[in-house]
Copies of this chain bind each other. A is one copy, B any other.
């Protein structure tokens, strides 16, 4: 099973809301994780995507990237969100994607070092939501990872 399939299985088995959101792990190219979502289950009163759905999509891609990145360095642990903020730039009018990558390699290396030494570490991650190629929402989250 590849990393994309492993993440989809983990999300499906552990976070039932992801099914209601229609979240599908689309790709991971070694850096960028992409999650696709359809509009219909996520619409709001304006027939655009509900702000809560965009936040969930953004969290799933950030959480998912951390999950994959930990597997890559042969680590695992419980990943929990501690803080999240999102800014909505423009409405999502059809299917959308949430994309996430580790943009700060130094911060990631430091995170892994502290995690291996202390069994617990924090990391800030950004993810973005796009629709038809346009940036619709920007998310910043702080996650805590702890060894079980």
A residues sitting closer than 8 Å to B (CB atoms) are 10, 14-17, 20-21, 40-46, 50-53, 55-56, 59-60, 78-88, 91
Contacts and interface: CB of A to CB of B under 8 A. Distances in A.
Number of copies: 2
Contacts of A10: 45
A65 to B, nearest CB: 15
Contact of A55 (B20, B45, B82, B84): B84
A79 B40 CA distance: 20
Contacts of A86: 83-85
Given A16-B42, A84-B86, 12 more contacts: A16-B40, A17-B21, A20-B21, A50-B56, A52-B52, A52-B55, A52-B56, A52-B60, A81-B88, A83-B86, A83-B88, A84-B88
